[in-house]
Amino acid sequence: MNNYITSELINKEEIVNLKFPKDDVLRKKNAIKNRIINLKRAMALGNLEKGKVKIFFKDSFGLKSVETTVWGITDKSVILKRRALIPVRRIVRVV
């Protein structure tokens, strides 16, 4: 995947209004595994150093991104501040 991705940058407060399809945006097992590894690193960075990451994800209308701190991860969602949740299956990349 390219280091440069064109996306609509949104505020984390807008995430609660988005609709997410049920399918996974990633197809390859290795990419799915790497996504979890990168999300766990992002969570450690957020919890230990209050560091922000950029998350690229797809909602029903296309590719979006958000710069935020990851507070937690469940099997199905990434937890951000202010109760914002992004389904793991919709995350394309974490940088």
pLDDT value at residue 5: 73
Alpha-carbon distance of 49 to 69, in angstroms, equals 10
* Domain locations in the chain as residue ranges: 20-94
Alpha-carbon distance of 56 to 8, in angstroms, equals 9
Alpha-carbon distance of 37 to 44, in angstroms, equals 11
Q: Which position has the token pair 């919890």? A: 47
> pLDDT of 26-64, one tens digit each?
999 999 999 999 999 999 998 888 899 999 999 999 999
Mean per-residue pLDDT for 55-75? Answer: 96
The fraction of the chain above a pLDDT of 70, given in percent, is 96
pLDDT at residue 95 greater than cutoff 90:
yes
Please tell me the class of the 20-94 domain: mainly beta
pTM of the model: 0.91
